Structure 1
Amino acid sequence: MKKLRLAAILMFLFPVFANAQIPVSDVDLKRFYVRLGASFVYPDDDATSLKYYLLQDWDLYRTKWDIEDDTTWNVSGVWRPLPYLGLELLYVGDADHSLRLENFRAYPGRDNIYFGRFSMSSANLFVNWYMADLDCLGQPYLGIGVNYSDFYDDELNPEFQRYLMGSGLSNGLAKFGMGHSWGASAQLGIDWRLGRGIARSWLINAAVMYTDADTDGVITYPTEPGYDRLYSDFETNPWTLNLGVTYEF
């Protein structure tokens, strides 16, 4: 459903890009921006419950994820050859998210358990449409693009490890693994020049970005004999607020 909504937004925005009047005579192949800043990452908690590949355990039935927000860093480069058009490569690095399972039924008097953690980074390639002239101090822009998200440093919390062994599901330590994701991205932002003259090259940036990112989370644990697995389809789909300082070459 989220992917359909994002696709509808992009289809709505396409005519805006297509109808933008770009004066080709103003081509400047040497106009580049370099930006460094902070990112506030807010994942969506909407994902399938943790379950077996074939059967659902009652303790895990209708569980849902509580994914903690995180603050990290970002760096980007923008090539703006035309006054109203630019290409941006944006990297958001090392967001560390803790995980809890809500609606967890195994322990009386509790409805959650600390599950583990994972880290996430993303690389985004945007086509940006700038809505104002280059001479304006404020440079609002709208971007659509593609995203690659990497999930790594996956760990299970000791409390969940104890649940797996105490409930008889596992006879040893389990491992948690996630993968990577390709999806669409969209952003709305503004560059604000600090002034004229010498200060013209420095800008303050703020942007809100939506990323379509999902992956499989798999827990592999030893049994007698062999091993078994639990899994969940993670749809993190984070909203990210990017704040940064930009230098224009």
Structure 2
Amino acid sequence: MRTKSLLLPLAIAAASATSPAIADFTGGDFILRVGGSYVDADSTSVFSNRNVIDIVDPDDPDSTIPVEIRERITVDSDSSWFINGTFFVADHWAVELYHMNQADMDADYTITATGEDIDIRRRDRLRGFDTSVTSLFANWYPVCVESWVQPYFGLGVNYTDIKQDYLRPVFIEDVINDNGQFVGRADRGLMTFGSSWGWTAQVGIDIEFGRDANWLFNASAMWVDADPELELGVDNIALRNDIVFDTIRIREDMDYDSWIFNLGVGYKFSF
């Protein structure tokens, strides 16, 4: 997990300060917020697959034995930064456009094989899933517009995207020659990702830095429904010298539902 710098978005907010506005949260007001985000997949296992295949019997090359293959991709949590803009279309009601920049979520690919006298596991680290989320909310602010503490609830739609600059390998393996010497590293297999649309919901609060202030503190928690597509293909996977799988092909949607927790600052403009 890595924490990305928040200096850029905070600088944007600082540069956005203009003439003071009244403290009320009323129709026509606009709030710009920036800050840090923490994203955590609801289930650490975002993909799992199970099937049974026949392999050559290590003890009898002329026959085969059934082996159950289980595959799983797990992801870690990570932090990033966000920026959003909220426009009050009327008292108590606002529209919010939110963007969380790429969170680099580490991922592992695990494959296990079980069968008669076989119980093998292989685990490989995948390069991070650079995930960004953009959401559009309709927010309801239930308390009186004069309050300098404003809780809110939102419901909307999200677009979740995993950065796809190139096809990435599934494995990066050490290459050993016939003499047992390390001669380099090689990429194995290909993996690609898609994007997805889904619903999202949030609860949050704005707290002004004083009753007549335009600067405010913001905190929110968001639930994001996402199922981007995963395509994975790899050949000749050796779990053991005598256990080799010819081909694995996967094309499935991932269970990428996530919680996003945000802390930031904002500035309220009144027009």
- TM-score with structure 2 setting the length: 0.66
Q: How far apart, in 1, do the equivalents of 2:261 and 2:254 lie? A: 21
Q: Pick closer, same or farther for the CA change 1:86–1:173 going to 2, 3 Å.
A: same
> Does the 8 Å CA contact 1:45/1:64 hold for their aligned counterparts?
no
Please say if 1:220 is aligned against 2:240.
no
**What are the residue-to-residue correspondences of 1:97-176 with 2, within 5 Å?**
97-102=105-110, 104-105=112-113, 112-153=123-164, 155-156=168-169, 160-162=171-173, 173-176=188-191
Q: Alignment RMSD, CA only?
A: 3.3
Residue 208 of structure 2 corresponds to: 193
Deviations 1:86-114 (A, max 9, x none): 00000011011111135634997856432
Identical aligned pairs, as a percentage? Answer: 29
> Which amino acid letter does the alignment assign opposite residue 73 of structure 1?
W
* Structure 1 or 2: more helix by fraction: 1
Residue 14 of structure 1 corresponds to: none
**Which SS does the other structure have where 2:44 is aligned?**
coil
Q: How far apart, in 2, do the equivalents of 1:172 and 1:100 lie? A: 16
Residue 234 of structure 1 corresponds to: 254
Give the paired residue count. Answer: 208
* Structure 1 or 2: more strand by fraction: 2
- TM-score with structure 1 setting the length: 0.72
> Does the 8 Å CA contact 2:45/2:75 hold for their aligned counterparts?
no
Deviation at 1:60, TM superposition (A): 7.6
> Does the 8 Å CA contact 1:118/1:155 hold for their aligned counterparts?
no
> Which amino acid letter does the alignment assign opposite residue 192 of structure 2?
G
Deviation at 1:61, TM superposition (A): 2.7
Q: How far apart, in 1, do the equivalents of 2:260 and 2:146 lie? A: 28
> Does the 8 Å CA contact 2:53/2:69 hold for their aligned counterparts?
no
* Equivalent of residue 100 in structure 2, options 81, 92, 101: 92
Q: Pick closer, same or farther for the CA change 1:247–1:172 going to 2, 3 Å.
A: closer
Q: How far apart, in 1, do the equivalents of 2:250 and 2:100 lie? A: 29
Gapped regions of structure 1 (runs ≥ 5): 1-25, 164-170
From the CA coordinates, give the structure whose radius of gyration is larger.
2
**Which SS does the other structure have where 2:173 is aligned?**
helix
Residue 71 of structure 2 corresponds to: 63
Residue 28 of structure 1 corresponds to: 27
> Which amino acid letter does the alignment assign opposite residue 40 of structure 2?
Y
Deviation at 1:132, TM superposition (A): 1.2
Deviations 1:17-44 (A, max 9, x none): xxxxxxxxx9633x10000011000013
Q: How far apart, in 1, do the equivalents of 2:253 and 2:150 lie? A: 39
Q: How far apart, in 2, do the equivalents of 1:61 and 1:228 lie? A: 10
> Which amino acid letter does the alignment assign opposite residue 220 of structure 2?
A
Q: Runs of at least 4 residues of structure 1 off by over 6 A? A: 54-60, 106-109
> Does the 8 Å CA contact 2:46/2:75 hold for their aligned counterparts?
no
Residue 216 of structure 2 corresponds to: 203
> Which amino acid letter does the alignment assign opposite residue 122 of structure 1?
V
Deviation at 1:141, TM superposition (A): 0.3
Q: How far apart, in 2, do the equivalents of 1:178 and 1:105 lie? A: 25
Deviations 1:111-149 (A, max 9, x none): 643234321111100000002122212100000000111
> Which amino acid letter does the alignment assign opposite residue 103 of structure 2?
A
**Which SS does the other structure have where 2:136 is aligned?**
strand
Q: How far apart, in 1, do the equivalents of 2:53 and 2:219 lie? A: 46
Residue 42 of structure 1 corresponds to: 40
